[in-house]
Chain A
Amino acid sequence: MSHAPHRDYAGAKLGMWLFLFTEMLLFGGLFILYAVYLHRYPGEFAAAGHRLDLVLGTANTVILLTSSLLAAMAVTAVQRGEGRIAVLALGGAVLCAGGFLAIKYAEWSVKFSHGIYPGSPSLVAGPPGESVFFGLYYLTTGLHGLHVLIGGVLLAVVALRVKGGRIHAGDHIWLENGALYWHLVDLVWIFIFPLYYLML
């Protein structure tokens, strides 16, 4: 190759947004199912939602919103050349991710111990609408949790690169795109929260 590597900031951002669209459609499939089954089982969805922990769900919402703030602040920090603030903010976001996953683990454990898990006898024996609700709940929050994990790792890697100086004011597309991914994770939860925890 005889020329410098091709750099296109706007192109990289466009590509990232296109990838985010695919994530929206991926979760969208689960939301299609939710919409249809909510229409079919309004009462049972409400009853089942009642069995989710509103406090923990709200806490997770606040945690993710805060982590989004921190990620956005990290971008601003790097753009202003304030690398240290950026690393702290990103570290905070990663901690939030960890906190979210810990709470999610706690929630699921409690549910499992009460016999509520995919294909469990109590769900099979109970009202069909509740079985569907919890099936969707586990799939959706499970897929979301996977994305929280991936996003958290991504932010941690980005944080290390900021610390090492490879991401800086003149070249921070990895940070911006990583933050965009993280915000998407937050965005999906913004819709999961009311639909699963608040429909009672």
Chain B
Amino acid sequence: MTSDSATRRPVGYGTLVAVWAALLLLTAATVFVTRLDLGGYKVAAALAIASLKGGLVIAFFMHMRYEGWLLRGLLFLALATLALFIGITFFDVLYR
């Protein structure tokens, strides 16, 4: 494993502020998109933008962009597990 990472290069303030600005823009986008009449796709659109925002927070604020494959893989494992829990439940709910 990597040695003590206390000396890892810090994420610059400029980068952080840029990410924050992007997040605000995406928030506005979410509000805008959900005012449109998209029917069933509204949920998908909102979740897609939310996932994008979440991805930015994880990658830059939580430093995942600078972490190794282990941590990323484990995060994927956790999220995949939740997705499977929801998805397999829908085998019941969708077909009653």
Q: With both chains docked as a complex, state the minimum distance between the C-beta of B33 and any C-beta of chain A, in angstroms.
A: 8
Assess whether A65 is in contact with B79, with CB atoms less than 8 Å apart: no
Assess whether A198 is in contact with B54, with CB atoms less than 8 Å apart: no
- How many inter-chain contacts with C-beta < 8 Å in the A-B complex? 126
Q: Which residues of B43-65 have CB atoms within 8 Å of chain A's CB atoms? A: 43, 46-47, 49-50, 53-54, 57-58, 60-63
Q: Which of B54, B62, B70, B82 has the most CB of A within 10 A?
A: B62
> 1/0 per position for B54-92, CB-CB distance to A under 8 A?
100110111100000011001100110110011001100
Assess whether A187 is in contact with B81, with CB atoms less than 8 Å apart: no
Interface of A, secondary structure class, is helix
Assess whether A198 is in contact with B13, with CB atoms less than 8 Å apart: no
Assess whether A172 is in contact with B6, with CB atoms less than 8 Å apart: yes
With a CB–CB cut-off of 8 A, which chain A residues contact B40? 42
Given A61-B27, A69-B61, A198-B30, A76 contacting B81 (CB threshold 8 A): no
Given A32-B85, A183-B62, A190-B53, A69 contacting B94 (CB threshold 8 A): no
Assess whether B34 is in contact with A10, with CB atoms less than 8 Å apart: no
> 1/0 per position for B8-39, CB-CB distance to A under 8 A?
10111100110110011001001100100000
Q: With both chains docked as a complex, state the minimum distance between the C-beta of A96 and any C-beta of chain B, in angstroms.
A: 12
Assess whether B62 is in contact with A198, with CB atoms less than 8 Å apart: no
* 20 A-B contacts (beta carbon < 8 Å): A10-B4, A14-B71, A17-B74, A25-B78, A28-B82, A32-B85, A39-B93, A65-B20, A65-B27, A68-B57, A69-B16, A69-B17, A72-B16, A73-B13, A172-B6, A183-B61, A187-B58, A194-B47, A194-B49, A195-B43
